[in-house]
Amino acid sequence: MGAVPVNPATPESRTGPTDRLASLTSWDADWTGLRVVVTGLGLSGFAAADTLAELGAHVVVVDGQESPEHRAKADTLKIVGVQDVLLGDRHTAVLPDVGGLAPELVVTSPGWRPNQPLLAAAAAAGVPIWGDVELAWRVRERAGRKTADWLVVTGTNGKTTTVGMVESMLLAAGQRAIACGNVGTPILDAIRDPEGWDTIAVELSSFQLHWTHHIEPAASAVLNLAEDHVDWHGSFEAYCADKAKIYEHTRLACLFNEEQPMTMRMVEEADVQEGCRAVSFTTDTPGRSMLGVVDGLLVDRAFLEDRANQALELGQLQDLGPIAPQHQVANALAAAGLVRAIGVPPEAVRDGLRAYRPGDHRIQLVAQADDVLWINDSKATNPHAADASLAAFTDVVWIAGGLPKGVSYDELVTRHVGRLRAVVLIGADPGELAGSLRRHAPDIPVLSTAVRDTGTDPSDGHQAMAAAVREANAVARPGDVVLMAPAAASMDQFESYADRGNAFIDAVARLMEAKGLGS
């Protein structure tokens, strides 16, 4: 199979593909024979290739990995009608042809960067590039099946929690609903459900939004913004610009964070549909057209007729569970605003919050012994998430470190130096965080040598985590919280943030057993 020359002047790349793609706005449109290259064979890439093959498109899939798992996926895709699957790095540097002709479309997995050679070649050749979310929007309508409203959520942190809360509230309201997208079920798998849904809650990452060109959600929300994924986007400004795309063409309500003015500016600059409202949420007392907190109650002053003088009770802080830090309250209010925008009643918001169970690795209480709490927040993969986690506690022995993703830790350390009792560093190269601690918290004990000097490969995260837990136990005293909130990605020592969290849970369990204490 040959590669397509990079020639932006080819007539087909200028006219034909674009004209045809404009007509592909439902499942029942004529997708037959459309020549598509799908990049990536993860969950979203596999779902995209499978969907396109079902639609009758001619599909070639490219992925740099040649693992047994990828070869098995390739075999499955060929059975369902994908023309070819090209595995190995040599295939990711050029834009392949499809059946001997230039592709008309590239559908990329969200993790592929815009400057990746194959994608750069497609852009130079004028071949449109979609993500899985764009494809899902195009095929959402299908004869004989419900077409769901979309409630969409992005932000640096809290996305998974918020869409989970949205799903729980919708279910409490008696709707057929699902959380999907950048969490759990790939959005294309949800879209292809034969019955359809009343509403879907869609978590969207900045990567997914970068490759999304046109969706029309019923309601949208940006939870918060902080420096993250700068290595992927190239700058914080570019990262924010991709996040802001979530508000475009929203029909009913754009939810923004009253405590982060940047999110309000995003709404002000968005091209929304006529009649769409700007509604904010705050963890303080809300004004008109806001959701907030009054005397321990979550209240709505936006989605009611007399919002100038009244507020609707949506629930109580205790409905969020035994640990309800400020950022969790904000997530709950954002979720409530999204569902209230489509008419979900207040009691369903309350019941949904009570029924919601946070996922593992999100401020998860692992053990309580000797008057010390052991908390797993492995999902805190950047400084903004760790900031929220640290702010929930007073005296903290902090286990942190990992792959920093090009961000700075100075502001995080400066903000929380007063609550730190000690810091235990993990990560194959914790130098960035260690430097911030030296500069801004010189009097805080930093324990790292014993963790790394285990006689094992520094990439062995489970050994390092066990050592970190031992170090934390040695310095923790009654009233402390041992908080594993790494403020960094996990891939330097672990398979995923979940693997890192499980390593912490296992190490704490072994410690409790050795001490003869229950968790």
CA distances from 46 to 69, 323, 398 (A): 12, 38, 39
Extract the tokens encoding 364: 């998860």
Output the CA–CA distances (angstroms, integers) from residue 147 to 186, 193, 254, 349, 365, in the order listed. 17, 11, 21, 23, 39
Selection from 74, 13, 6 nearest residue 38 by Cα:
74
Q: Are 416 and 423 in contact (CB under 8 A)?
A: no
CA 131 → CA 51, 152, 518, distances in Å? 13, 15, 47
Please name the helix (run of DSSP H) or strand (run of DSSP E) that holds residue 35, with its range, or none: strand 35-39
Backbone phi, psi, residue 382, to 5°? -150, 165
Tell whether residue 182 is among the known ligand binding residues: no
- C-alpha 486/C-alpha 165 separation (Å) is 24
Q: According to the annotation, is 160 in a ligand binding site?
A: yes
Nearest residue to 119 via CA among 144, 151, 96: 96
Contact between residue 482 and residue 429 where contact means Cβ atoms under 8 Å apart: no
Consult the annotation and say whether 159 binds a ligand: yes
Q: Do the annotations mark residue 51 as ligand-binding? A: no
Question: Quick one: how many helices (H) and strands (E) in the chain?
Answer: 20, 20
If 0-12 CB within 10 Å is exposed, 13-18 middle and 19+ buried, where does residue 288 land? exposed
Q: What would the two tokens of residue 81 be?
A: 């009608």
Cα dihedral 80/84/90/92 (nearest 10): -60
HEC letters along 91-151: HCCCCECECCECCCEEEECCCCCCCCHHHHHHHHCCCCEEEHHHHHHHCCCCCCCCCCEEE
- Tokens 């709950």, located at residue: 332
Q: 185: annotated binding-site residue?
A: no
CA separation for the pair 360, 498 (Å, rounded):
8
Region for residue 284 given its phi and psi (left: phi exceeds 0; alpha: psi -120 to 50; beta: otherwise): beta
b/e 137-171 (16+ beta carbons within 10 angstroms → b) = bbbbbeeebeebbbbbbbbbbbbbbbbbbbbbbbb
CA dist 378 and 384 (Å) reads: 13
Annotated binding site for ATP: 155-161
Binding-site residues, in ranges, read: 155-161
